[in-house]
C-alpha cells in the first residue's frame, strides 16, 4: 500500500494499526486511524476513524459488528 502526499491543508494519509483486513476494492481516505483487529468490507469507503475490534462496510463505511472474536 502506498502513501500519497497532499499539499492541501487538512488532508493526510490513513494510519492502519495491527491486524487490519481490507476487502477488495475498499478505499480508505483522509487523515484517519483504523484501530487494531478491524475488517473493512469489500468496496467500502472509509473516511472516518474506526475503533479497534470492529467490522465496517458500506459507502460511507459504518460499524456492522463490534467485538471480533479471536
**Mean pLDDT (whole number) for 6-24:** 84
The average confidence (pLDDT) of the chain is 88
Q: Are 47 and 33 in contact (CB under 8 A)?
A: no
Is position 67 within any domain?
no
Is position 23 within any domain?
yes
20 class by beta-carbon count within 10 Å (0-12 exposed, 13-18 middle, 19+ buried)? middle
Range of the structural domain that residue 36 is part of: 15-60
Q: Are 35 and 28 in contact (CB under 8 A)?
A: no
Three-class DSSP category at 14: coil
The residue with greater pLDDT, 30 or 8, is: 30
**Mean pLDDT (whole number) for 48-65:** 95
Is position 53 within any domain?
yes
**Mean pLDDT (whole number) for 4-32:** 85
pLDDT score of 65: 77
Give strand pairing partners of 54.
38, 66
Nearest to 57 by CA among 44, 38, 70: 44
Is position 50 within any domain?
yes
Amino acid at each position: 500500500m502506498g502513501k500519497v502526499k497532499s499539499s492541501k491543508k487538512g488532508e493526510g494519509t490513513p494510519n492502519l494499526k495491527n491486524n487490519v483486513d481490507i476487502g477488495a476494492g475498499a478505499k480508505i481516505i483522509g487523515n484517519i486511524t483504523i484501530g487494531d483487529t478491524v475488517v473493512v468490507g469489500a468496496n467500502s469507503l472509509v473516511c472516518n476513524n474506526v475503533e479497534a475490534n470492529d467490522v465496517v462496510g458500506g459507502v460511507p463505511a459504518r460499524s456492522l459488528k463490534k467485538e471480533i472474536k479471536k
